[in-house]
Amino acid sequence: MLDQLAAAIDRHCVGIGSDTKIPRLSLVAVDEPIEPTGHLYDAMICFVAGGAKRTTSGELSQVARVGDMLLTTIDLPVAVDLEEVPYRSAVMHLDSQALADLLIELDTTGPATPLAAAGQIMAPMTPELTDAVTRWVELLDTPEDIRPLAPRVESEILYRLLRSSLGPVLHQWSLADSTTSRIRRVARWICERYTEPLSIDAIATVAHMSPATLHRHFKTTTGMSPLKYQKHLRLQAARRHLAAGNATVGEIAHTVGYTSATQFNREYRSIYGLPPGQDAARLRTQLTHTRTTAQHQ
């Protein structure tokens, strides 16, 4: 059944990754090894149909292999390393309202104030879940069926997820005032202001937590402190600007929120292994090679 899912992904994935005509569904297909890359994941579930990938966030690391599903509960800057290729996955971007509506329909209840869970949680896909995800992706074969059937299959997937080992985490994710939701709200708040000077006290106010409590729960969820989380957002954004090649290193450092070029160079090198200028040249060379390869396939 996983082979069937991988084949459906192959038929409809454009390039390495692409959104689809089905709302909240995107596909990933990578055939050759690529250098580890940085991404900002949103709340989503990755269903792995082939290969394996490692995602690292601060001190937390997960390896999702064929047959696994990886839940990301918040906006999370991660380093992604494809450990086995060819790699295939279908990605469901979570709809909080759809999940909340389903929970109301099921009339499920849970603890009101759980501890925050890790920002990424892995679990095996059940046969029933694999079948539902496969049917969801295969709706792309018959576009006229997407509008009437895609929401129903998506609801079935959510239902089966709630019945899986990820159910308790998804339940708390949907609650407006759970610890998980507060940390998710804080992470989104930082994402929207990552170029600005931020203080732990200001972030704690958004979370309605003490600074110590915020720090503990945030690190449990993301593997890093709030300010280190902000730093990763800045450096990921800087790397994207550098790859585009439309500004100088100094201009980019200022754009992402750094007031000290020396600090920017030091922190960039500590994450990516090279000074910004050298890394930018390497990234642009790799991008040119990737485009040339794609044109000859």
All domains of the chain in start order, with CATH: 2-174 (2.60.120.810), 225-297 (1.10.10)
Instruction: Please give the mean pLDDT across all residues of the chain.
Output: 91
Model confidence pLDDT, tens digit, residues 8-46: 999 999 889 999 999 999 999 999 988 888 999 999 999
Instruction: Give the pLDDT confidence score for residue 1 in this predicted structure.
Output: 87
pLDDT tens digits for range 197-240: 999 999 999 999 999 999 999 999 999 999 999 999 999 999 99
Give residue-wise pLDDT tens across range 91-121: 999 998 888 889 888 865 554 445 556 889 9
90 and 76 Cβ atoms separated by less than 8 Å: no
Q: Of the given ranges (79-83, 114-118, 122-126, 194-198), which has the lowest mean pLDDT?
A: 114-118
pLDDT of res. 295: 42
175-204 b/e with 16+ CB inside 10 Å = b?
Answer: beebbbbbbbebbebbbebbeeebebeebb
More confident residue, 256 or 294: 256
In this structure, the number of other CB atoms found within 10 A of the CB of residue 6 comes to: 22
Split at pLDDT 50, 70, 90, the class of 179 is confident
Q: Amino acid letter at 96?
A: S
Strand ranges inside the chain, DSSP E: 17-19, 25-30, 37-41, 44-57, 60-65, 68-72, 76-93, 120-124
Name the residue with tokens 């250098």: 35
CA 50 to chain centre: 18
Q: What whole-number distance in Å separates Cα of residue 297 and Cα of residue 291?
A: 10
Tokens matching residue 293: 């390869």
Mean pLDDT of 135-142: 98
Using a cut of 0.85, tell me whether the model's pTM lies above it.
yes
